[in-house]
Amino acid sequence: MMQYDAEGYGWQNIIDSPDGLAPQPGAWLLGALRMVCEPQPAAVVTGTVTYRQRIALPPDATVVVTLEDVSLADAPSTVVGGDMIRTAGLQVPIPFSITYDPAEIIPQHRYVVRAKIFYGEDLSWTSTTAYPVITQDSPTEDVEITVQQI
């Protein structure tokens, strides 16, 4: 079997026949499966977590940022990715970076990032606003999440 690019149509499996080039039955399916199954480069959502109060974070604070699919109104959100930052004395704004697989992103869905700050195991701060990202012309860089004290 020889491989040809049939004028950019993504046909990767075309066979030689006595009548000339002929598409192999199911070649389009194999090409589509190959496109879907090949690893995609990872994508990233970046930004910072901050709050307005003038309060220092303790050295054992942990910031947890999640990327969630919130498309279904009557169902819990689905976590697509996340980042956990042990502050070790770092103060706000705290940078985050969430790596996700772009193949898992459905363009019609809504995605948001949320943040929580824990002191030890106790939740002390949380975001109370949705911060849309990725789809529907939403950003993937420089997202600023403001958290509120609990």
Which token pair is 54? 């003038």
Say which amino acid occupies 16: D
| Pairing of β 43-50 and β 143-149 | parallel
Rounded Cα–Cα distance for residues 107 and 13 (Å): 29
Confidence tier at 143 by pLDDT (50, 70, 90): very high
User: Are 10 and 106 contacting, i.e. CB atoms less than 8 angstroms apart?
Assistant: no
Instruction: Give pLDDT tens digits for 43-77.
Output: 999 999 999 999 999 999 999 999 999 999 889 99
Rounded Cα–Cα distance for residues 66 and 80 (Å): 8
Question: What's the pTM value of the predicted model, to 2 decimals?
Answer: 0.73
CB atoms near residue 24 (< 10 Å): 14
User: Are 5 and 12 contacting, i.e. CB atoms less than 8 angstroms apart?
Assistant: yes
